[in-house]
Amino acid sequence: MSALRNRFAPVVLCPDNEVKVFQIADLLTYAAEELDRLLPEGRDKSLAMTKLEECNLWAASAIAAGQQR
């Protein structure tokens, strides 16, 4: 498989790793809700939320990469 095909190929997670992805999503949702409550509206708050979304994506990617090894 080419490097690009490998980068964009979908990954089917095993049940244990699927649970981890949902646990991380729950944790980050809690953090987002707390930040939404505590932070004033504005660009900085928006960036903080974007970084949490990014964290969620990278965490899922790390789980998927670990599964493929």
DSSP for 24-65, written as a single string: HHHHHHHHHHHHHHHSPSSHHHHHHHHHHHHHHHHHHHHHHH
Answer for the pair 64, 11: CB distance below 8 angstroms, yes or no. Answer: yes
Largest CA distance in the chain: 47
Mean pLDDT of 39-68: 93
Q: Is the pLDDT of residue 4 over 80?
A: yes
pLDDT at 9: 78
pLDDT at 41: 98
CA–CA distance, 36 with 41 (Å, rounded to integer): 8
pLDDT at 69: 60
pLDDT at 1: 60
**pLDDT-derived band of residue 67, with 50, 70 and 90 as boundaries?**
confident
pLDDT at 42: 98
- Return the domain boundaries, the chain: 13-68
